[in-house]
Amino acid sequence: MAEVRHIGRILKEEEFTLESPKLFSYIISHDGYCNGTNIVNTYKFLFGLYFLGCETAVLSEAVKYGNTSRTFSNECLTSIKNIEQHMMSIYSVCTRDSCDRVIGVLESVIGSHYNKPVEKTAGEILVRLPWFYFTIFKFNRNPGGQMTGNFLPSYVTIHHGHTYFIIVWSPFKTLLKSDDTTVSFVLEFDATNFDSDYRGMYVNRNIARKPAMVIGHFNNDVTKVSYSRCTKTSKITLAPEPGHILNAKSDSGKISSVNVVLLLSIAVLHLFYNVINLIK
């Protein structure tokens, strides 16, 4: 169980040294921004090892002491809850990433997905920025547009083959409908050249209306929550050749914690070996 606890402490960033800093903090520092791909992939891999280790420890306890013994089971359930809470705290930190870094990610995705369906574009953005809710409108040409309201999410317009109007920078999902405690935003635009959209936030839209209208609602308590919402609204025209517009570091950079992961894998395999011997 010692090897499993070691993985749990790494996931909760409770175990670190000058030579081996906090894992997720190191990933963010290494990439220069909150790279959702690297953060989440590393988390999933290590959590998978931890979960398998817990299953093995619980099985060995049941074999040795009977089904009434739940020491390892209770320990693992408590630790998993703490690991999930720590991951959510990392997500909260990442919502405070700088405007330029987030815009760099959006530019990168649009530049490499400009000829793909909007759902594919949205999926890639969600992989890289999983701590945000967002909506994307894709147009064949610039539709103009104006956003008003008493709680405005940040948005970016990117021109690259098509025009993409992206509402983003909110860790709060909009409501399905308004109520007495709601604030809202309204987006109006010319829908003549509307192509498609992805609505990761709950919004009501009427494309047939002239001008077309999109309405989103937030609970009023959201306005009382302190987080560094990006207030920059940008209009960006990308170069015609995708691949020349990457402002944030590429996801292809490998995290130098591979050796740590391999050692953890060996530790879990060693645990399995011990359990097999115990069962025999």
For the segment 140-180, what is each residue's pLDDT rounded down to a tens digit?
A: 888 877 888 888 787 888 888 888 988 877 788 888 888 77
Residue with tokens 């002239």, as numbered in its chain: 210
Asked if 173 and 202 count as a contact pair (C-beta separation under 8 A), the reply is yes
For the segment 86-100, what is each residue's pLDDT rounded down to a tens digit?
A: 999 999 889 888 888
Mean pLDDT across 95-110: 86
Q: Is the pLDDT of residue 188 over 50?
A: yes
Cα–Cα distances in angstroms (integers) from residue 108 to residues 19, 82, 94, 167, 250, in the given order = 32, 34, 18, 16, 9
The Cα 239–Cα 222 span in angstroms is 37
Domain assignments of the chain as residue spans, ordered by start: 2-95+256-279, 99-229
Half-sphere exposure of 196 (CA within 13 A, CB side): 10
Q: How far apart are the first and last CA of the chain?
A: 18
Number of Cβ within a 10 Å radius of residue 186: 14
The Cα 104–Cα 231 span in angstroms is 15
The stretches of the chain forming alpha helices (DSSP H) are 2-11, 23-31, 36-65, 71-94, 99-113, 118-128, 258-279
Q: Which of 149, 144, 119, 113 is nearest to 134 (CA)?
A: 119
pTM: 0.74
The Cα 250–Cα 196 span in angstroms is 28
Predicted confidence band of residue 227 (pLDDT cuts 50, 70, 90): low
Number of Cβ within a 10 Å radius of residue 240: 10
